[in-house]
Amino acid sequence: MKREITSFDVAALVYELNQAILGARINNVYQTDRKTLLLKLQKPNNPAAQLLIEAGKRLHLTSYVVEKPKTPPAFCMALRKYIRNGRLISVKQHAFERIVTFTVKTKTGIMKLVTELFGEGNIILVNNQNKILQALKYKKMKDRNILRGEIFQQAPPSGKNPLKISVKDLEPLKKFGKTEVVRAIARFLSIGGNYAEEILLRAGIDKKKPCSELKDDDIEKIFQNMQDILSQLVNGRFEPCMVLDEKGKIIDVTPIRLKRYEGFQHQKYGSFNEALDEFYTKIITVEKKARAVKEAEEKLQREIARLRRIIESQEKALAEAERKAEKYKKIGNIIYAHLNELQTLMSKILQDKEKGKSWNEIVSEAEAERKAGLKPAEFFKALDWKKLTLNVCIDGLCFELNLRSDLFSNAAKFYEMAKKAKLKADGARAALEETRRKLEEMEAQAESEILKGEVKLAEVKMPAKRRRREWFEKFRWFVSSEGFLIVGGKDAVSNEVLIKKYTEPTDMVFHADIVGAPFVVIKCKDGKPSEQTIKEAAEFAASFSRA
């Protein structure tokens, strides 16, 4: 798909721009992004126009509404300072390169806005002394510098100028040896692959033919067919169109019909500017939509990943709560199952202490009895005399008994802990189910987005077109009940403009014999109005008088 315009495209654009905007006043300058300018232009007796300039990519008039930043960047402010309210007096292509120079006449002198549409591109403002005032990008290069205050130099030629060469100038093509002729022409003339292929196709020469095999007759054919294409461009014999493949996918936009696109669908336009406007607006809209879709998908995937992490955490929490509920319930059951043994063990410890034995002695005796395999000392694990708790191990499960409480209270405590753990597990299970439900919804949504596939040009809704302001909107106006346009002046100046500029011999004019009364005109191009329309016009005139 076309991404940047060619030198042939620029030639067509410059021709059309000279017809459309030469003599126009620059009402304002906007910078819509870091590389794009929008110039609002007004040519006398013509609707306002908008010129889009994107450095390194495109240049064309646009009929679409373009979003403008609330705060203009510094470069934009500088351009407003120098060229706002200036008048365009020249639009030229430099040496058939992808460079367009707009010459602007301002109160402070002649300014030139140089737009470079190749590579990264640039937009440079130059004064009448050829010094750089402002540039979109400042940089030092081996062949020139773009720096404020320095003399401006055009970029070195990228190839031979097709408009200035003769047949003999194409003779060096033979010296390209084994290089395919299509590549050699594209490089030698710097016209790009499309037009190099077109020239060869019209000339009937195989594009893969080695340059070393070119004959004088081939050189003559190449030159002649190149001149035919240039003649179409120089003389404005355009057939602007958008080229689409069998699936309706846009593959190119051209100012003339190309032989290489025979058999493809062609969507015709009234001008090449209009074709480029439709093409780039659609492409940018698609790219913007695609970015939005991608961002939405990435956001969806991030949410899916987050939910999966939550599920993993919730599953662990549920398993832990269930494990504790089971464990505490089992401990309570064990206490009841071994009630007598545990009671005997607890009573012996407390009685030995009452008899005056030290805690160390009690622990030593219990450990000795456990080693000897005596019951109930075999359950003994440890004793914490500071907390008065007894640690026991039964059936591979170790737990703590409070010596200050009886065994029934100890068992009740573990049953209560089991109950709380079960409630926690129930809550965790419900939360887990809800998260899983959300995950399923997200995954289904993600799958649906994937099934929708890539954003298609035909399915993208284009931005709104800028509404053309009609001439009569600068006056007071209305449409009569019979469909006649009735226009009235607002003051002495607009009265004069209305009568001298917009009133035709077939129109009807009303003017009350009252100081300050407006002139009112019935536009009668569609026939003679009836008494009803005349009455409405008269009432309209009277209503705005000072009577």
Per-residue pLDDT averaged across 140-146, rounded? 95
State the pTM of this model.
0.68
Which residue matches tokens 């410059």?
Answer: 14
CA 213 to chain centre: 48
**What is residue 461's predicted lDDT score, i.e. its pLDDT?**
64
Burial class (CB in 10 A: 0-12, 13-18, 19+), 203: buried
Least confident window among 300-314, 359-373, 502-516 = 502-516
- Between CA 54 and CA 45 the distance in angstroms is 28
- Between CA 504 and CA 524 the distance in angstroms is 8
Which residue matches tokens 């200035």?
Answer: 164
Are the beta carbons of 148 and 135 closer than 8 angstroms? yes
- Between CA 384 and CA 446 the distance in angstroms is 58
Q: What is the pLDDT of residues 279-297, one digit of tens each?
A: 998 888 888 888 878 888 8
Are the beta carbons of 30 and 72 closer than 8 angstroms? yes
In a 3-state reduction of DSSP, which class is residue 211?
helix
What number of residues does the chain have? 547
As given in the structure block, the two tokens for residue 70 are 């609330």
**pLDDT confidence bin for 106, thresholds 50/70/90:** very high
**pLDDT confidence bin for 457, thresholds 50/70/90:** very low
CA distances from 525 to 94, 238, 541 (A): 46, 33, 20
**What is residue 302's predicted lDDT score, i.e. its pLDDT?**
93
**What is residue 445's predicted lDDT score, i.e. its pLDDT?**
84
Short-list 91, 137, 106, CA closest to 25: 106
Q: What is the pLDDT of residues 210-224, one digit of tens each?
A: 999 999 999 999 999
State the DSSP string of 261-306: GTTSEEEE-S-HHHHHHHHHHHHHHHHHHHHHHHHHHHHHHHHHHH
Q: Angle of helix 7-20 relative to helix 216-234, nearest 10 degrees?
A: 20
Are the beta carbons of 98 and 6 closer than 8 angstroms? yes
**Domains of the chain with bracketed CATH:** 7-146 (2.30.310.10), 318-418 (no CATH), 471-543 (no CATH)
> Percentage of the chain surpassing pLDDT 70?
95
Q: What is the pLDDT of residues 303-333, one digit of tens each?
A: 999 999 999 999 999 999 999 999 999 999 9
